[in-house]
Copies of this chain bind each other. A is one copy, B any other.
Amino acid sequence: MSQPLPVAIDVLGGDFAPSAILDGARQAAALGIAVVLVGRAADLEGHDLGGLDLIECSEVIDMDEDGARAVRVKKDSTLVRAAEAVRDGRASAFLSAGNTGATMASALLRMGRIKGVTRPAIATPIPVPGSLPTVLLDAGANPECTAPMLVQFAQMGSVYARSRFGIHVPRVGLLSIGEEDGKGNALAKEANELLRVGAAGPSVNFIGNVEGRDIMSSDVDVVVTDGFTGNVVLKTLEGGMKFFAGKVFEALVATPEAKEAAKVLLPQLMPLAEALDPSTYGGAMLLGIDGVAIISHGSSSAVAILNAARVANDMVKADLVGALRVAINADPVS
């Protein structure tokens, strides 16, 4: 077997860049995952690159820049160079915890779409402690969607749940505001009709509409929705869980007696906290791009980057992109 291509890691993206990113990259390398760093030398002085290869560039796209515009203007930025490394066969995948819009734009413009894909979507695993996660898509790439786009998301989400989590026949639900087929807004109703008549093809196991309360349950594997609703859901859950966890933690340290009691409960509570920690899944996958591209959370820790590199590596090995290509072209959505 030939030497695998490395995962390109944007060292300068994310709230804790470059330290946490470098730390995660070194940990990934130590586990035998080939990685290549993409960064600006000036920002890396005094940091430990762990002897890893560096693709040097001269620009950085800030977190609050307009993504599409920044990618056009900053042609020598880490995000653009990382996507180009994949396009040019110098890397197998790229990941960034930086500007989400710019990561999407860079992947789309430099790596291109899989033939037949109307719009790439962000697929985010929603943790379901004690069970496999639910794949939510689109989690924010496309604020406006058409029903045929949602049908394609059903196809891509199915492939991803299979490749990534080994779910042989993933159950795909359409997010709506009632389980009955006729419930929802115009987009959900139209998408439901298309999915009901099998527009996504025989490989998609459509189980009908699901509601918000089903997302964190083991009743569905893939939840399809437009990027506006999906992003709102993701951030609502993130905020709600963080808030709840914070309140539980406050209760555990409220008094000296509570602190003692909390020690007894830690073995039970820690796995829950871990399961709900977004860093466990390493980030969101941009599905529909002609290559593996991972958008990690802005607040990514070293562990999150390590996990993202591992996922990127796994998805390259599993030929996620090839499987997506087959699924999209087997059942093209008109």
Contact = CB atoms under 8 A, between A and B. Distances in A.
A215 B244 contact: no
Given A232-B212, A235-B212, A268 B254 contact: yes
Interface string A180-191: 000011101000
Describe A's contact surface by its main secondary structure. helix
Contacts of A228: 176-177, 184-185, 188, 229
A257 interface: yes
Interface string A286-323: 00000000000000000000000000000000000000
A207 interface: no
Interface residues of A, number: 59
Contact of A185 (B144, B177, B217): B144
A183 B211 CA distance: 25
A213 B238 contact: yes
Contacts of A176: 228, 232
B237 A240 contact: yes
Interface stretch (A28-36, A76-84, A259-267): A259-267
Contacts of A215: 236, 239-240
Contacts of A186: 143-144
Interface stretch (A53-61, A159-167, A245-253): A245-253
